[in-house]
Amino acid sequence: MDDFFGIPAPLLFGQLLLGLINGAFYALLSLGLAVIFGMLNVINFTHGAQFMLGAFVAWLLLNFLGLGYWWALLLAPLIVGAFGVVLEKTMIARLYKLDHLYGLLLTFGVGLIIEGLVRNEFGSSGLPYRIPPELSGAWDLGFMFMPVYRGWVVLVALVACIATWLVIEKTKIGSYLRAATENPALVQAFGVNVPRMMTLTYGAGVALAAFAGVLAAPIYSVNPQMGSNLIIIVFAVVVIGGMGSILGSVITGFGLGIVEGLTKVFYPEASATVIFVVMAIVLLTRPAGLFGRA
């Protein structure tokens, strides 16, 4: 058996694969953040709470309406996205003209309120949510035992990332959006309803968070603080990728997942810190992020 720096090769391959899987979550979450920041210039600190809501809506659908995982994958993003639309219409839309800080404070506060309400209603120790039977089980890859569900997560996350990127970069709607970010007044003058477009963009970003939440429900504890645990890392991913850069956040998400996975083998104690070390280095050398425009 070959060793790399004293680590058996099978273990290393396993960790690389796991890193990729975690990277899929980072990519999916940071994608939503990047879309919202890129188009609306709002740093959406409610993202973690919306991710959590996605998982809770999946649980509610299952336990009150008997709708399983596949329905949840479709409905939860729509429901939470609609909630996002309401939030944007009633509150966030008023802050576009102000400093970033106001949007940050508002979304942070709303996130805390949502988390508190959910905790009051459902307690803190979490709710059970099972892996759908079609995706349970595992493959024996020889070097590791690979749960089918994790493979599914990577696949779905990749598809969602590519689809979002295509919509924004290659479609007419996407070009309107990008134009509206550059010069909203001009785009409005051409007869495009810019405020509505902003609202829907926010809704779509939120829906992506909820989608990730449903994907996470079977493997992470479904509890009120599940989003806040993940969201700080995701923010670091967005900063490293370059605020607002779609492609940047996707590539960085997967890349950092792998970096983190390797750290977990060589020096596990630092695995939560390594992403922030990378962030510090990137900010020192390229303040706009790896893929950002200065």
Partner 1 sequence: MDRRTFIAAAAASPLAASLPMTGARAQAANTIRIGVLTDMSGPFRDISGPTSAVATRTAVQDFGARGFNVEVVVADHQNRPDVGVSVARQWLDRDGVDVIVDVPNSAVGLAVNGVVRERNKAYLNSTAATVDLTGAQCSPNTIHWTYDTWMLSRSTGAAMVRAGGQSWYFITADYAFGHNLQAQTETFVRGAGGRVVGAVRHPFPGTTDFSSFLIQAQASRAQVVGLANAGTDTINSIKQAGEFGLMRRGQKLAGLLVFINDVHGLGLQTAQGLVCTETFYHDLNDATRAVTRRIVANGAQANWPAMSHAGCYSATLHYLKAVADMGVAAAKADGKAVIDRMKAMPTEDDAFGRGSIRADGRKLHPAYLFEVKAPGESRGPWDYYKLLQTTPAEEAFRPLAEGNCALTR
Rounded to whole angstroms, the Cα distance separating 208 from 78 reads 10
Hunting for tokens 């210039």 — which residue is that?
41
Told to check if 110 binds partner 1 by CB under 8 A, we report no
Min dist CB 13 to partner 1, Å, is: 10
Give residues 21-40 in contact with partner 1 (rule: CB under 8 A). Answer: 21-22
Min dist CB 22 to partner 1, Å, is: 5
Distant-in-sequence, close-in-space partners of 266: CB < 8 Å, separation ≥ 6: 5, 7
Hunting for tokens 């939560």 — which residue is that?
272
Q: Between 125 and 285, whose beta carbon lies closer to partner 1?
A: 125
Among candidates 277, 19, 282, 32, which has minimal Cα distance to 291? 282
DSSP state of 145: E
Q: Between 110 and 265, whose beta carbon lies closer to partner 1?
A: 265
A 10 A CB-CB count for 3 gives 10
CA 283, chain centre distance (Å): 21
Query: Count of residues binding partner 1 (CB under 8 A)?
Result: 46
* DSSP secondary structure, 152-190, as one string: HHHHHHHHHHHHHHHHHHHSHHHHHHHHHHH-HHHHHHT
A 10 A CB-CB count for 262 gives 17
What sign does the dihedral 208-93-114-237 (CA atoms) show?
positive
Min dist CB 163 to partner 1, Å, is: 25
Q: Between 109 and 128, whose beta carbon lies closer to partner 1?
A: 128
From candidates 94, 100, 119, 293, binder to partner 1 by CB under 8 A: 119
DSSP state of 207: H
From candidates 3, 74, 100, 130, binder to partner 1 by CB under 8 A: 130
Told to check if 47 binds partner 1 by CB under 8 A, we report no
Told to check if 109 binds partner 1 by CB under 8 A, we report no
From candidates 147, 205, 244, 255, binder to partner 1 by CB under 8 A: 147
Give residues 241-280 in contact with partner 1 (rule: CB under 8 A). Answer: 261, 264-265, 268-273
Q: Between 158 and 219, whose beta carbon lies closer to partner 1?
A: 219
Told to check if 15 binds partner 1 by CB under 8 A, we report yes
Question: Cα dihedral angle (102, 104, 105, 110), rounded to 10 degrees?
Answer: 120
Rounded to whole angstroms, the Cα distance separating 8 from 23 reads 23
Rounded to whole angstroms, the Cα distance separating 140 from 150 reads 13
Told to check if 127 binds partner 1 by CB under 8 A, we report yes
Told to check if 223 binds partner 1 by CB under 8 A, we report yes
Told to check if 142 binds partner 1 by CB under 8 A, we report no
Write out the H or E segment, with its range, that includes residue 4: strand 3-4
Rounded to whole angstroms, the Cα distance separating 68 from 136 reads 14
Told to check if 4 binds partner 1 by CB under 8 A, we report no
Min dist CB 185 to partner 1, Å, is: 43
Q: Between 188 and 271, whose beta carbon lies closer to partner 1?
A: 271
Min dist CB 222 to partner 1, Å, is: 8
Question: Contact residues for partner 1 (CB under 8 A)?
Answer: 8, 10-11, 14-15, 18-19, 21-22, 116, 119-120, 123-128, 130-131, 138, 144-145, 147, 149-150, 218-221, 223, 225-226, 229-230, 232-233, 261, 264-265, 268-273
